[in-house]
Amino acid sequence: MSETAIEALGLAKRYGRGRGWALRDCSFALPAGRVCALVGPNGAGKSTLLALAAGLLRPTQGVVRGPARTDLAYVAQDKPLHPQLTVADTLTMGRELNPGRWDGEIAARIVETLDPGARVRRLSGGQRTRVALALALGKRPELLLLDEPMADLDPLARHELMGALMADTAERGTTVVVSSHILTELEGACDHLLLLDGGRIRLDGAIDDLLAAHTLVTGPVEDLAPHTVVESRTTGRQLTALVRNEGGPVEGPWQTTSPSLEELLLAHLRASKTADRTPEGASA
């Protein structure tokens, strides 16, 4: 399990000289077999990171190392498919483009609710998502990169497709990176987290480890030193703070609980917003 599926070192991307950094100082290593949630607000750099990982964009700085083109599958946000092909034609194309590794059974299972003779241009957004995912999973990739795959699916379809995806990882150990700005879509399915904001990585690690490394503290407004406070808020006489468990357990007049994943993300996003307002150099 210590094998790395994809790794970035000092990765940065700027779309043109006069423009800001879409992604910067991005370094991480994702162990093989993980299902990684790539989360962050709109414009955080999620799509840029996925396109770089897929080898479709050239980095401005740094490197990203992952499996060869043939061993990865990437489903872009706009799900590019040939509009004139039928569902059945699209899967035939998938088989011909991936000789020797195509899994027609899993591809067929994902589109089984669709009319095989329907042309892609006639399909709804959610139906197109199914076809795009069928193509991606049929390829039996080592690494699957999905950019906001669930955005136009209803809750039932979302659940079914996430189930199909998890079954695939259970069976073949596929590494998955899936982006979303809605955490609840991914909670439960993912065991690893990459939190992006403003083009930078704010959190990176196994979800269990990240949760265990933080404590949510509520109680009277008092100095929390020596603990590292990620973010704190005061409402009247009540303090709510997220601290890192570095200096041992938090002792004092506070109530301590383990944060939920959502609480952890929100605290880090608020903290990174505050950091961005401070002058360059003081942040990061």
Closest distance of CB 279 from another protein, Å: 40
Give me the numbers of helices (H) and strands (E) for the chain, helices first please: 7, 13
Q: Cβ closer to another protein: 144 or 162? A: 162
Of 10-18, 48-56, 180-188, 194-202, the window that binds another protein (rule: CB under 8 A) is: 180-188
Choose between 9 and 211: whose C-beta lies nearer to another protein.
211
Of the pair 91, 162, the CB lying nearest another protein is at 162
Segment 116-175, which members bind another protein (CB under 8 A)? 159-160, 162-167, 169-171
CA distance 260 to 211: 7
Q: Which of 26, 39, 190, 194 binds another protein (CB under 8 A)?
A: 190
| Minimum gap (Å) between residue 24 Cβ and another protein | 30
Q: Is 187 in the site for another protein (CB under 8 A)?
A: yes
Edge-to-edge strand order for the sheet containing 228-235?
A: 228-235, 238-244, 214-220, 255-257
Instruction: Measure the CA–CA gap between 72 and 53, rounded to whole angstroms.
Output: 10
CA–CA gap between residue 195 and residue 269 (Å, rounded):
9
| Contact window for another protein (CB under 8 A) among 23-31, 61-69, 116-124, 183-191 | 183-191
**Residue 263 is a binding residue for another protein (CB under 8 A):** no
Place of tokens 């009277």: 220
CA–CA separation, 273 and 195 (whole Å): 13
Q: How far is the CB of 167 from another protein (least distance, A)?
A: 4
Question: Which 25-54 positions form the footprint of another protein (CB under 8 A)?
Answer: 35
- Kindly tell me which of 5 and 57 has the beta carbon lying closer to another protein: 5
What would you report as the CA-atom Rg of the chain, rounded to the nearest whole angstrom? 21
Separation CA 45–CA 22 (nearest Å): 6
Size of residue set near another protein by CB under 8 A: 19
CA 7 to chain centre: 14
Whole-angstrom distance, CA of residue 12 vs CA of residue 199: 8
Q: Contact positions toward another protein, by CB under 8 A?
A: 35, 159-160, 162-167, 169-171, 184, 187-191, 260
